[in-house]
Amino acid sequence: MRYLEGPFEPVTEEITAYDLPVTGRIPAELNGRYLRNGPNALGVEDPGVHIWGMGQGMVHGVRLREGRAEWYRNRFVRTSGFAPMVHVIEHAGRTFALAEGGLPPAELDEELNTLGSCDLGATAEGFTAGAHSKHDPVTGELHSLSYMPGRDVVQHIVTDAGGTVIGTTTIPMTRTPFMHDFALTESHVVLWDTPLGFDGFECRWLPDHPTRVGVMPRAGGDVRWLDIDPVHVSHTLNAYDDGDSVVVDVITADGPFDPAAPGAIRPALDRWTIGPGTIHQQRVDDRPQDFPRVNESRLTRPYRFGYSAATALYGVPFEPDGAPSDDTFTNALVKHDLERGTAEVHRFGRDEAVGEAVFAAAGAGEDRVDEDRGYLLTYVHNPSRNASDLVILAAQDFTGAPVARIHLPARVPLGLHGSWLPDR
């Protein structure tokens, strides 16, 4: 029931609103759409057994142009059966809602209407682009890792910048794993096989299943597996090659993980350094956080800054460094300086539920010195209006007041993942 009420409560209407009111000033260089996907299940027959990550999906979007919030739209992803409700991306000039577990992507138009299921990343074996497909910012390729319940293989799928599948590697597994995310570098694909997987068509924690991390050449080939202690892996921040090693920054949590209670864990940020025959695991930040993002011009390459969210999904108090125990809170964004080993926290109010923040570059952003030149965009609940704001933070003034709060006409439930899609 928890995932159908409070900040998770589904909305029942599709809304279109124009010329949205703004507190502050929208940066004029932000021209494009901010879109976010997530669960919005209606008509649940038995709330007691409802799984948040199943059912209908809804995309929420705001169109920015020349300093104005031109429109807000929310639209159901309208496909037969379970709808893609994990992520929304752009590739080859088209917009896609993404799912996992064998559900095909759905294509959306400019105004978020569903055009239908589509074949992005489709292979002869029936796999398609997965929930956390990743762009290589240099090659323009889209890399996907896809699994299907009942299949004891996963596939790494490469789609070129024009939308054509140009490479597929089938990776044997011992059963169907739950591979929600993976990591990509210039030369490698990194994947993890944890106790969370499928027993038949039921996804559950299988405590006797070993945990292992695999490293595979990006061009395909054998996977080099390394065993580690049991752990649940939530999401990838970024990864890169470092000589003979691969560095992977990930959100992990102690198991067991129950898909029916995704907020029952305590996730934290770790760094894995994977050598030829070893893996070194280091805790970067022990405070509860998830939904990590990076300036995507640095995806697959060395980087300095990462961003994550302390969210009401987990309901675990987030304590800033040096704060007394009665000053803990739940809703915050975190900026990590991974070179200096420091972090800044932008705190929101007790009832201002915040989710994933997406980085929108204000310039090229390819120089690591200038890597944080841009903005963070995220939906935040505004309890005084019982509606949501699109909050824009300057990444280089992270703890300062938002540069803009765009006041939406409706509430945006806590959801999953999204993208800033700049005008081309």
- pLDDT score of 324: 46
124: Cβ–Cβ under 8 A, 6 or more apart, which residues? none
Q: Could you give the CA distance from residue 364 to residue 319 in angstroms, rounded to a whole number? A: 34
Q: pLDDT category, 368, cuts 50, 70, 90?
A: low
- Percent of the chain with pLDDT strictly greater than 70: 95
385: Cβ–Cβ under 8 A, 6 or more apart, which residues? 407
| Mean of per-residue pLDDT scores for the chain | 93
Find the mean pLDDT for residues 349-357. 93
Q: Could you give the CA distance from residue 216 to residue 304 in angstroms, rounded to a whole number? A: 25
Structure-token pair, residue 223: 């996977």
Find the mean pLDDT for residues 274-287. 96
Q: In order of start, what are the domains of the chain with their CATH numbers?
A: 78-422 (2.120.10.30)
- pLDDT score of 169: 98
The number of angstroms, rounded, from the C-alpha of 217 to the middle of its chain's C-alpha atoms is: 24
Structure-token pair, residue 407: 């006041």
Structure-token pair, residue 55: 């059912």
Please indicate whether residue 88 or residue 350 has the higher confidence score (pLDDT): 88
Find the mean pLDDT for residues 245-254. 98
Q: pLDDT category, 318, cuts 50, 70, 90?
A: confident
Find the mean pLDDT for residues 14-40. 97
Query: What distances in angstroms separate CA 122 from CA 103, 170, 281, one per listed residue?
Result: 11, 13, 35
List strands edge to edge, sheet with 87-91. 87-91, 94-98, 106-108, 114-117
List strands edge to edge, sheet with 142-146. 134-135, 142-146, 153-159, 165-172
204: Cβ–Cβ under 8 A, 6 or more apart, which residues? 196, 197, 198, 258, 259
Per-residue pLDDT of 167-206, as tens digits, reads: 999 999 999 999 999 999 999 999 999 999 999 889 999 9
- pLDDT score of 363: 65
- pLDDT score of 313: 87
394: Cβ–Cβ under 8 A, 6 or more apart, which residues? 375, 400, 403
Per-residue pLDDT of 111-165, as tens digits, reads: 999 999 999 999 999 999 999 999 999 999 999 999 999 999 999 999 999 999 9
Find the mean pLDDT for residues 348-352. 91
pLDDT at 322 over 60: no
Residue 103 DSSP class: P
Per-residue pLDDT of 230-249, as tens digits, reads: 999 999 999 999 999 999 99
Residue 162 DSSP class: T
Instruction: Note whether 273 and 323 are within 8 A (CB).
Output: no
Q: Could you give the CA distance from residue 12 to residue 349 in angstroms, rounded to a whole number? A: 26
Per-residue pLDDT of 45-103, as tens digits, reads: 777 777 877 778 999 999 999 999 999 999 999 998 888 999 999 999 999 999 999 89
